[in-house]
Amino acid sequence: MTRHDGDEASVSQDPADGATESRDPQGRAQHGRHELPARRPRPEIGTVRRTGLSGLARGGRSRLAFGLLAALLCLLLGIAIVTQVRQNESGDSLETARPADLLVLLDSLRQREATLNAEVSELQNTLNSLQASGNNDQAAIQAAQARLAALSILAGAVGATGPGVTVTIDDPGPGVAPEAMLDVINELRAAGAEAIEVNDAHQSVRVGVDTWVVGTPGSLTMDTKTLSPPYSILAIGDPPTLAAAMNIPGGAEDSIKRVGARMSVRQADRVDITALRQPKPHQYAQPVK
């Protein structure tokens, strides 16, 4: 209901048809008088547009500022998380760990240390065993090599050099028989000669464990080789001992002199024996394995 300038009449509108009805102060209806409600002033179009654009601008700036603030907060949060992770990885978390956790960690480290020490001890024992075995093997190899060299010299399979004597027998007769030559060789062996070689002017014979001598004076056959005087006998060993063995009364020198031959002994610091014996195959004897 609308009142205009102190007038007590009222205007009502029928909601069914939209018509208005006037009533006097006593409530009586006055037909035929219709009044429209007062109009409100419309805002200017320019003003509305200016207000809307400025509002939109202010809203956009607010949303942009809020987005930048949110991004900055996310960046700071990420930096804080990465820093904390790195601190935990570097061991700084131990400072804030509980005593119970530290005890568990310490016990684990001690167990790991004990395991590593046991492994080190086992490896050290293995290394010592290998070294001892290697030393024993090396010593055995060296002993075998030395034994092989000695047997090779004794068998006449290799050349030899060393101090010794040179025994020269001049038999102009000739009168030196195979037995006299065997006496000289056996005396040298008994005196410790390690290698013996018998020469004439043309060939050499290496004396071995199975050397044999046959023939007649002036033509001695040793190991299938025939030798003729003068004879030169080379022996490697202790020179004074070998020389003394040749001068024993009733020994080899006396045997040579009895048949009219002459014998001389010369000691030397170096005697070279180069003659070799060809190994013979064994038909019956075999090495023990």
pLDDT per residue as tens digits for the range 41-65: 555 544 444 444 455 445 555 565 5
Looking at the predicted structure, is the pLDDT value of residue 92 above 60? no
Same domain (yes/no): 87, 190: no
Residue 28 in domain: no
Domain count, the chain: 3
Helix (H) / strand (E) containing 20: strand 20-23
Indicate left, alpha or beta for 11 from its phi (over 0: left) and psi (-120 to 50: alpha).
beta
The Cα 77–Cα 207 span in angstroms is 101
Same domain (yes/no): 89, 130: no
Query: What are residue 204's DSSP bridge partners?
Result: 199
Same domain (yes/no): 181, 269: yes
Where does the pLDDT of residue 202 fall: very low under 50, low under 70, confident under 90, or very high at 90 and above?
very high
Range(s) of the domain holding residue 80: 47-96
The Cα 82–Cα 89 span in angstroms is 10
pLDDT at position 278 is 83
Same domain (yes/no): 182, 268: yes
Same domain (yes/no): 268, 166: yes
Which of 63, 79, 96 terminates a domain? The answer is 96
Same domain (yes/no): 106, 198: no
The Cα 261–Cα 167 span in angstroms is 13
Residue 1 in domain: no
The beta strand positions in 149-261, using DSSP E, are 160-170, 195-199, 204-206, 213-216, 219-222, 225-227, 231-236
Residue 133 in domain: yes
Same domain (yes/no): 216, 193: yes
Q: Which of 75-84, 137-146, 176-185 has the highest mean pLDDT?
A: 176-185
Residue 20 in domain: no
Same domain (yes/no): 92, 103: no
pLDDT at position 3 is 44
Same domain (yes/no): 116, 175: no
The Cα 143–Cα 282 span in angstroms is 25
Same domain (yes/no): 87, 175: no
Residue 26 in domain: no
Residue 108 in domain: yes
Nearest to 162 by CA among 194, 198, 199, 210: 194
The Cα 12–Cα 5 span in angstroms is 17
The pTM (predicted TM-score) of the whole model is: 0.54
Same domain (yes/no): 145, 209: no
The Cα 174–Cα 167 span in angstroms is 17
Residue 11 in domain: no
Residue 173 in domain: yes
What is the chain's mean pLDDT, rounded? 76
Which CATH number is 177's domain given?
3.30.70.1880
Helix pair 178-190, 239-246: axis angle to 10 deg: 140
